[in-house]
Amino acid sequence: MTGKHAMNRRGFLGTTGATAGAVVAAGSFPHPAIANVRDPNEKLNFAILGAGGRMQAHINALLAMKQEGLPVDIVGMNDVWDGGATKPNNGDVRGLYPSAKKVGLNPEDKASVTKDYRRLLDRKDIHAVVVATPDHWHAKMCIDAMDAGKHVYCEKPMTHTIDEARRVAETQARTGKIFTVGVQSTADPRWAAANSLIRSGKIGHVLQGQTSYYRNSNMGQWRYYGLTEDMNPKTVDWKMFLGTEFGLAPDMPFNRAKYAQWRCYWDFGGGMYTDLFVHQLTHLIQAMGVRFPRRVVGGGGLYMEYDGRDCPDVATVVADYDEGCQVIISATMCNDVQLGEVIRGHTGSIMFGGSPADGFRVVAQKLEGRPAPPGANSGEGGEITKPEQPKDDTRALWNHYIGCIRSNNQETLCPASLGYAAIATVNMGVQSYREGKALFFNKENGAITEADRSWAARWEERSDLRGTPNQIMGWNADPLEGSTLTLPDYQKLEGDWVNGVDPAKKA
C-alpha cells in the first residue's frame, strides 16, 4: 500500500525473500539469546508496545491473570504519547504514563517506561511483547522483537503492507518465536468445527464464502476516537509516531486527527479493508480451508463521508482461489445491515448465526433436475451446531497463546502464516481499488502482478477437457464428493457437426 505521498516502505524490510509457500512450511530455529519459558511456574515478563485503546484490553487480561496468581507480569511500557488529563474515550486510561501507573510501574523509571520501544527490546528479562500501535508500525516492531528473541502477540491487521506480512512470517519461521495475531474471533470454535465438516465432504465442493462488516454512525467511521488538547507536539513524539526515518510514513506536520484517527488515512492504515475485513476474512478462510487467493478485485468508493479521509466508506473485495472457490467480503460504514456469513457448497450451505452463541446451521441443497427459481431456498432449517463458546474471546486467545509459549507450540490460534494470507487478500483489495486493476498473487514468491486472461482461460480449458474440480486444503472425503454433475441424457446430442455429420450418430 502506498500513502498519498508515495514512498518506499521497504527501508527496513529489504527487497526479496522466501516464497509464500516456503514461509508456511519453513522450519524453525529458536533464538539462542533467550531460553523458552517452559516451566509453568516461571514468570513470563511482557512489555507493552502502544498503550492506546485496544491495548487496555490486553493490559486488563494480563493484570487479571496476575491477580489470579498466574506467573505473568508487565514489566515494560511503551507509547509515544504521554497520555493526558483529558480521557479521549469513555474516560479510559490511555497513553504512556497513565498506563504505566495502571500496571504499577514508576513513570520515572526510564528503563521500563519509554517512548522508544527499542529500549525494552534490549532487556533480557523481557520474554514477550504485545504490539497494538497503529498498523504502519506493526511489522517493524514484530520483526525487531522476534530478532531480539521475544515472543509476540500482535494486534490485527498483522501489518500495513503485503511485503511486510511476508517478512513477518519469514522472521517467525526463522526465529521460531511464538507469534499470534490478535484476531480474537479465531478463539471461536465454530470455524474449526465448520472446517472439519467441510473437509469430510458434508457440503460438497466448496464454491463461495461470504462475510461482511457493515456499520453506521452520524459522526463518520473512526471519528469517535476523540481528539484532546493534550494531544500536542509536546506530549506526542510525532517523529516516532510517523516512523519516517524507518521508511514507515512520510514526514508531515503534527495533526491530532492523523494521530488519533489514523485509520482514516492510507499512510497509517487501510480503512475498513485492513481494520475490519481482516477480522472476518481470517476466520472465514480458516473455516473454508483456503489461504492465499490467486486473483483479487477490490471495489468501492468514498460516497458519503467527505470529511478529509482517504479510505472508502463502501468497499467489497472479491478473491478467487486455485481451489476453485471465491470469497466475498463487503461493507459500508453508512448502513449496518449485514450480508451474513455463509459458506456455499454444491450439496449444502453453512449459515453462521449473527452471534457466536447462535452456532451454525448446515442446510442441504435440493439438486434434482433444473434449478429452482430465485427465492425458492430461504436457507431455513438444517442441522444446528453450537460449539461451546469462550466467555471472553480476547482472554481465550490469551490463554491459548500463553499455553503455546509454555509448550513451545508455534500453532497459535492465528499464526503469522494465516496473518500473511489475510493481509495479502485485503491489501490486494486496496491496491486493486486504488489502481483500478484486477491483481494476481504469486504463491511461490509473494509477487503481485496485474491479472490477465489466464485465470478465465484455465477454467474454460478444464471445462473443455471435462476435467475434475480442485478441492480445498485438507479435503479428506472422496476427491469427487459433492462435485460431479449428472448431465441430462439429451446432452449426448451435443458436439460439433463436421461435414454435416450428426456427432450423436457417429459410431
Applying CB under 6 A, does 268 fall inside the site for ligand NAD? no
**Among 46, 97, 117, 277, interactor with ligand NAD by CB under 6 A:** 117
Query: Please, which residues bridge with residue 212 across strands?
Result: 330
Rounded to whole angstroms, how far apart are CA atoms 402 and 396? 10
Q: Measured from the CB atom, is 169 or 240 closer to ligand NAD? A: 240
Nine cell digits for residue 403 = 499455553
Q: Measured from the CB atom, is 97 or 475 closer to ligand NAD? A: 97
Q: Which stretch binds ligand NAD (CB under 6 A): 73-81, 195-203, 205-213, 440-448?
A: 73-81
CB of 42 to ligand NAD, least distance (A): 28
Rounded to whole angstroms, how far apart are CA atoms 416 and 175? 12
Q: Measured from the CB atom, is 31 or 279 closer to ligand NAD? A: 279
Applying CB under 6 A, does 182 fall inside the site for ligand NAD? yes
Rounded to whole angstroms, how far apart are CA atoms 342 and 332? 18
Residues 273-302 that bind ligand NAD (CB under 6 A): 275
**Among 73, 82, 144, 155, interactor with ligand NAD by CB under 6 A:** 155
Applying CB under 6 A, does 30 fall inside the site for ligand NAD? no
Location of C-alpha cell 499464526: 415
Applying CB under 6 A, does 184 fall inside the site for ligand NAD? yes
Applying CB under 6 A, does 415 fall inside the site for ligand NAD? no
Q: Measured from the CB atom, is 275 or 305 closer to ligand NAD? A: 275
Applying CB under 6 A, does 50 fall inside the site for ligand NAD? yes
Residue with smallest beta-carbon separation from ligand NAD: 52
Helix (H) or strand (E) run with residue 151 in it: strand 151-154
Q: Measured from the CB atom, is 47 or 173 closer to ligand NAD? A: 47
Q: Measured from the CB atom, is 134 or 298 closer to ligand NAD? A: 134
Residues 343-382 that bind ligand NAD (CB under 6 A): none
Measured CA to CA in angstroms, residue 62 lies from 65, 88, 95, 103 at distances of 5, 23, 17, 9
What SS3 class is residue 315?
strand
Q: Measured from the CB atom, is 19 or 89 closer to ligand NAD? A: 89
Between CA 239 and CA 248, with CA 242 as vertex, the angle to 5 degrees is 125
Applying CB under 6 A, does 87 fall inside the site for ligand NAD? no
CB of 225 to ligand NAD, least distance (A): 6
Measured CA to CA in angstroms, residue 265 lies from 151, 222, 309, 312, 377 at distances of 30, 11, 6, 10, 42
Given a contact cutoff of 8 angstroms between Cβ atoms, the answer to whether 269 and 161 are in contact is no
Applying CB under 6 A, does 65 fall inside the site for ligand NAD? no
Applying CB under 6 A, does 49 fall inside the site for ligand NAD? yes
Report CA 156 to chain centroid distance, whole Å. Answer: 6
Given a contact cutoff of 8 angstroms between Cβ atoms, the answer to whether 135 and 159 are in contact is yes
What SS3 class is residue 205?
coil
Q: Measured from the CB atom, is 138 or 190 closer to ligand NAD? A: 138
Given a contact cutoff of 8 angstroms between Cβ atoms, the answer to whether 421 and 473 are in contact is no
**Among 46, 97, 238, 241, interactor with ligand NAD by CB under 6 A:** 241
Nine cell digits for residue 172 = 517467525
Nine cell digits for residue 486 = 449428472
Cα dihedral 446, 448, 453, 454, rounded to 10, equals: -10
Helix (H) or strand (E) run with residue 298 in it: strand 295-301
In a 10 Å sphere around its CB, with 0-12 CB exposed, 13-18 middle and 19+ buried, how is residue 215 labelled?
middle
Q: Which of 339, 217, 343 is nearest to 290 (CA)?
A: 343
Applying CB under 6 A, does 79 fall inside the site for ligand NAD? yes
CB of 79 to ligand NAD, least distance (A): 4
In a 10 Å sphere around its CB, with 0-12 CB exposed, 13-18 middle and 19+ buried, how is residue 472 labelled?
buried
**Among 9, 102, 127, 156, interactor with ligand NAD by CB under 6 A:** 156
Applying CB under 6 A, does 81 fall inside the site for ligand NAD? yes
Beta-sheet pairing, 341-345 with 206-212: antiparallel
Instruction: Tell me how many residues contact ligand NAD (CB under 6 A).
Output: 28
Q: Which of 275, 274, 334, 262 is nearest to 303 (CA)?
A: 334
Residues 120-139 that bind ligand NAD (CB under 6 A): 132-135, 137
**Among 11, 17, 53, 247, interactor with ligand NAD by CB under 6 A:** 53
Applying CB under 6 A, does 181 fall inside the site for ligand NAD? no
Q: Which stretch binds ligand NAD (CB under 6 A): 238-246, 412-420, 430-438, 446-454?
A: 238-246
Applying CB under 6 A, does 240 fall inside the site for ligand NAD? yes
**Among 44, 51, 284, 287, interactor with ligand NAD by CB under 6 A:** 51
CB of 53 to ligand NAD, least distance (A): 3
Given a contact cutoff of 8 angstroms between Cβ atoms, the answer to whether 185 and 451 are in contact is no
Query: Please, which residues bridge with residue 345 across strands?
Result: 206
Q: Measured from the CB atom, is 154 or 203 closer to ligand NAD? A: 154
Q: Measured from the CB atom, is 51 or 121 closer to ligand NAD? A: 51
Applying CB under 6 A, does 341 fall inside the site for ligand NAD? no
Rg of the chain, C-alpha, whole Å: 25
Q: Which residues bind ligand NAD (CB under 6 A)?
A: 49-55, 78-81, 94-95, 117, 132-135, 137, 155-156, 182, 184, 240-241, 243, 260, 275
